[in-house]
């Protein structure tokens, strides 16, 4: 049995690498979601006009890792208070987003976000959008496992 989770948290290279290290994650693919253009490419998404976010689609075994555990990873690998940016990357394609695939994922994401906000550790409000998953457009092959191919540990080298 396997499930899908989709997260946007800035530059997808580092996010993909982080999720690949989680036991129970079967695959992580980078791509684009949340926009209005059919089959966008990287150059189009970078214009900030397609409405897409850079995302990672995570395929996982729920018997080995829960969706709640994936949410915990998501919150810790980026700054969820940034609006349309992460680090030096800016634009709506770098927004913080959870694209849910079921009512259970929606409820878990909202509960997790509320718990983060109530925790009092953040200086600004959580900017993460929680929206239904739409089409996932797989990014070009040279983006898949990008950091792994380059022997790098983070998105900004």
Active site residues: 11
76 CB contacts (<8 Å, ≥6 apart)?
none
CB 56 within 8 A of CB 28: yes
Point out which residues pair with 30 in neighbouring strands. 56
Read out DSSP for 110-155?
HHHHHHHHHTS--SS----EEEE----EEPPGGGTTHHHHHT-SSS
Lay out the sheet containing 96-100: strands in order across.
129-132, 96-100, 3-9, 53-60, 25-33, 137-138
């Amino acid at each position: 049995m396997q499930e899908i989770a989709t997260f946007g948290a800035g530059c997808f290279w580092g996010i993909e690498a982080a999720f690949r290290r989680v036991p129970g994650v079967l695959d992580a693919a980078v791509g684009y979601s949340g926009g209005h253009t059919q089959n966008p490419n990287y150059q189009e998404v970078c214009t900030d006009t397609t409405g897409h976010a850079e995302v990672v689609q995570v395929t996982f075994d729920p018997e080995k890792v829960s969706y709640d555990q994936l949410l915990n990873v998501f919150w810790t690998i980026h700054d969820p208070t940034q609006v349309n940016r992460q680090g030096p990357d800016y634009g709506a394609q770098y927004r913080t987003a959870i694209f849910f695939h079921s009512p259970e994922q929606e409820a878990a994401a909202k509960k997790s976000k509320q718990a983060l906000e109530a925790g009092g550790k953040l200086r600004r409000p959580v900017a993460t959008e929680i929206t239904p998953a739409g089409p996932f457009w797989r990014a070009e092959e040279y983006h898949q496992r990008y950091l792994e191919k380059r022997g790098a540990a983070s998105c900004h080298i």
